[in-house]
Amino acid sequence: MVYKRFSIGVTLRILGIIVSLFIGLWMYFRQGLWLAPAILGILALAQVLELIYYVNSVNHKLARFLDSIRYADFSSSFTSDSKMGESFKEVNMSFNEVMEVFKQTRAEKEEQMLFLQVIIQHINTGIISFNAEGKIGVINNAAKHLLQIPQFRDISDLAKLSKELLEKVLEMKPGQRISKKVNSSLHLIIQSTSLKMGGQSWTLLSLQNINAELQSNELEAWQNLTKVLRHEIMNSITPISSLVDSLRTILDEDSYVQQEGFLIKRDGFQDMQEGLDTIANRSKGLVSFVNAYRDYTNIPTPKKVLMPVSQLFENVLNLMKEDLKNAEVKIETAIKPEDLQIHCDPDLITMILINLVKNASESMQSQADRVIGLTAISQGDLGMSIQVEDSGPGIVPEALERIFVPFYSTKKTGSGIGLAISRQIMNLHRGSLQVTSIPNERTVFTLTFR
């Protein structure tokens, strides 16, 4: 409608100019008049100027409207010009409505930005952003409190706290997570994310101090270890102490002094033999426990090599060939893809698999169908996994996590150290060892390599 009115206005003004010029020329050439044509010429010139003003008024409004958008200046308003008539009233209203929408959108955006800034400043996780030149963009109060770096304006200022920390941060890739102990009170977990904003590339870091949690977990671990040590040592020392008292009583009651020495009754002698055998057995058990603890705390650093999974499985099957044959257990292997390779310490991973296969075999002793599944699956960028599956009686939910606790065992025999060592080996490989079990259906141990 506005465009139609504008077109009519321009058309009428052009027609007015043409008519004025035509009449003036006709009067000058046909009638020989010169005053009237001169007046009409002046009138035509005035109409031309008015047409220019009419058109330029619209251009000026559009230019001012676009400039307001470009410079985000939404304080402008558009009013109707009396000289323009009512035809542009709708245009002005539309301009004003659009400006109001922009103004409201900008206000909402500013409110959201303020809300995000308040959140960032009040969360306990440290947040730092910096651009390709290292200039700090955002740093919240938690990050300032953690790092305690005065006038922290450039990421290179991290060197004031730790040069190694700065090097690690600069080497981080998007999505990477690192752990760095800076000092006795600051152990940081840092995660990196990249983003683009305002035509620039930014790196966003989140920082958390896990020192308190580590100390708490360490204290809890020591307390648990102390309980285990106390339990095992007391189980051995208490009967030994009791037997020593009993043997002293036997010597006092069943022995007699003779000229050449001591004489002891047959029953007393047998009791002493049994007591000494018991002491010897308990002492051996205590030594075995100490050796198991030593094995758990002295796992060597993995020496990783790249090897085919098929070769790893073949090594396990060859080493357990006789045991599996005697137990009448069958192993079914599957590798997807068949040429799958693994970056690991072959000796340590073989030890884990042997332990898991042995446990699975022992769990199915009372079953007629004894089959263990040994499967390796590639997970693309997420790494790969190896699964050991059996259809034995399974593990009750209460014991699923406790089976990885050192010296805890669901079997009558064994030290309860095998699964704890296996999980620690996987941790040293930057992987994990997990278990899922449905009692009397299936149990699956999964080794995950990343």
For residues 86-113, average pLDDT? 68
Tokens read off for 229: 């040590």
- Identify the three-state secondary structure at position 184: coil
Express each pLDDT in 259-268 by its tens digit.
667 677 777 7
What residue spans define the domains of the chain?
A: 2-108, 123-209, 230-297, 305-449
pLDDT, greater one: 378 or 228: 378
| Least confident stretch, 118-132, 269-283, 416-430 | 269-283
Express each pLDDT in 385-444 by its tens digit.
999 999 888 888 877 777 777 666 666 555 566 788 888 888 888 889 999 998 888 899
Res 284 pLDDT > 50: yes
For residue 375, what pLDDT band results from cuts at 50, 70 and 90?
A: very high
- Identify the three-state secondary structure at position 140: coil
Place of tokens 């090897």: 307
- Please, are residues 195 and 202 in contact by the beta-carbon 8 Å criterion? yes
Which burial class, exposed, middle or buried, applies to 230 when counting CB atoms under 10 A from its CB (0-12, 13-18, 19+)? exposed
> Angle CA(65)–CA(67)–CA(73) in degrees, nearest 5?
90
Question: So what's the pLDDT on residue 82?
Answer: 47
pLDDT, greater one: 323 or 217: 323
- Please, are residues 407 and 232 in contact by the beta-carbon 8 Å criterion? yes
For residues 10-27, average pLDDT? 76
Res 371 pLDDT > 60: yes
Phi, psi of 147 (to 5 degrees): -85, -30
> Angle CA(15)–CA(17)–CA(23) in degrees, nearest 5?
100
Place of tokens 């890739």: 173
pLDDT, greater one: 248 or 79: 248
Res 3 pLDDT > 60: no
Tokens read off for 86: 């009512």
Question: So what's the pLDDT on residue 293?
Answer: 59
For residues 188-209, average pLDDT? 86
For residue 374, what pLDDT band results from cuts at 50, 70 and 90?
A: very high
What is the spatial distance between Cα 450 and Cα 445, in angstroms, rounded to a whole number?
A: 16
Yes or no: domain 123-209 corresponds to CATH 3.30.2090.10? no
What is the phi-psi region of residue 198: left when phi exceeds 0, alpha when psi lies from -120 to 50, beta otherwise?
A: left
Average model confidence (pLDDT) across the chain = 78
pLDDT, greater one: 123 or 143: 143
What is the spatial distance between Cα 305 and Cα 308, in angstroms, rounded to a whole number?
A: 10
- Please, are residues 395 and 410 in contact by the beta-carbon 8 Å criterion? yes
For residue 102, what pLDDT band results from cuts at 50, 70 and 90?
A: confident
**Fold of the CATH domain 305-449:** Heat Shock Protein 90 (3.30.565)
Res 1 pLDDT > 50: no
pLDDT, greater one: 237 or 151: 151
Question: So what's the pLDDT on residue 88?
Answer: 56
| Least confident stretch, 58-67, 234-243, 371-380 | 58-67
Report field, pTM of the whole predicted structure over 0.75: no
For residue 325, what pLDDT band results from cuts at 50, 70 and 90?
A: confident
pLDDT, greater one: 5 or 275: 275
